[in-house]
Structure 1
Amino acid sequence: MGKVVEFSLGFLMSQHPLTSRGLASLPTRGIPRRIVRHLLISWLGSATVLPSGHSFTIHCKSKDDDLGAHTIWPNDVYTFEFHNNVWGTTLFYCSVTTSYGQGVYDFYRYDRDNKRCDVCVYTVTKDGVNALSTKPGRNDFIFNWK
């Protein structure tokens, strides 16, 4: 049975209230809990750093699905969900374009992310895209603009 993975892509000027602790506390009503993956993408910065009209474009694909291009504005949220395939090779890659730079990166790769995070958090910065660790003050990895 595959896992349900939900991606939430948001352009937020403040810290998002969703945490892995909050997800773990959701009631399962006697049904075995299937792990739901969440991916959150937001700008890292404050209103003084990023103008209110600032946006980024993200276009995510897998081998079988093209989710189309989406422009993310302040406080917008973009979500999608999918099941991991039975072979453990699920991959979603996304093209991100900002006024600071652009690049195409693996945002969900089964071998890297299946056990790495229940809530996968990415922040878009002037320098690239950071994958944040669940441990405060630490990045798991950084995708620099190409």
Structure 2
Amino acid sequence: MSVTVKKFFLLFLLVQPSTSISFGPKITVVVQNGLQGGRDMLLHCESADDDLGVQLIHPNNSFQWKFQNNVFGRTLFHCSFQWESVLHKFVIYKTSRDHNTCHICNWIVKEDGPCLIFSGRTDCYNWNSLEER
């Protein structure tokens, strides 16, 4: 009998979308438009489980969302950023040891790359350094 219950539970986990089974604290990601010259920015972020759609972010404004890591503890959000004829992509959130204590991830997007503000420090990344994240 217990083998049947275990099999049922495992089957249940496999057929459920991973967004319905999550764990840990809620994580908030904030992306701010820090472009110079008063330019609007289009933002499109998605993970394997969620597509947040295209967001229009006006200068010095931001877009934020909350989520929990999936049941496997491997959540990755990648975003595309567009203004005028410029288009860049960046992994804005990737589950890691660093993010285990990060419940709010604040990003400011600038022309040369996004900057993460966390625990009183700012780490900026170049657009061409995507492979390093």
TM-score range, shorter chain: 0.5 to 0.7
1:122-137 map, 5 Å: 122-136=107-121
Matched, 1:41 2:31: yes
Give RMSD over aligned pairs: 2.6
Amino acid of the structure 2 residue aligned with 1:2: F
Normalising to structure 2: TM-score of the pair? Answer: 0.65
* Superposition deviation, residue 113 in structure 1: 4.9
Structure showing greater Rg: 2
Normalising to structure 1: TM-score of the pair? Answer: 0.60
Which one has a larger percent helix, Structure 1 or Structure 2? Answer: 2
Q: Deviations over 1:75-110 (max 9, x none)?
A: 644333222112111111111112483221111111
**What is the distance in 1 between the residues matched to 2:109 and 2:60?**
14
Amino acid of the structure 1 residue aligned with 2:103: D
Mind listing any 5+ residue stretches in structure 2 that lack a counterpart? 1-21
Amino acid of the structure 2 residue aligned with 1:118: H
**What is the distance in 2 between the residues matched to 1:79 and 1:105?**
16
Q: Which contiguous aligned blocks of 4+ residues in structure 1 show a shift greater than 3 angstroms?
A: 74-77
**What is the distance in 2 between the residues matched to 1:59 and 1:113?**
24
* Superposition deviation, residue 55 in structure 1: 0.6
Q: 1:98 and 1:128, CA in 2 relative to 1: closer, same or farther beyond 3 A?
A: farther
Q: Tell me the number of residue pairs that the alignment of Structure 1 and Structure 2 aligns.
A: 108
**What is the distance in 1 between the residues matched to 2:117 and 2:85?**
20
The alignment-based identity, stated in percent, is 27
Amino acid of the structure 1 residue aligned with 2:37: L
Secondary structure class of the residue paired with 1:42 = strand
Secondary structure class of the residue paired with 2:96 = helix
Mind listing any 5+ residue stretches in structure 1 that lack a counterpart? 4-34
Question: Paired residue for 2:87, among 99, 102, 110?
Answer: 102
Which one has a larger percent strand, Structure 1 or Structure 2? Answer: 2
* Superposition deviation, residue 36 in structure 1: 3.2
Residue 88 of structure 1 aligns with which residue? Answer: 73
Amino acid of the structure 2 residue aligned with 1:58: L
Residue 127 of structure 2 aligns with which residue? Answer: 144
Matched, 1:50 2:37: yes
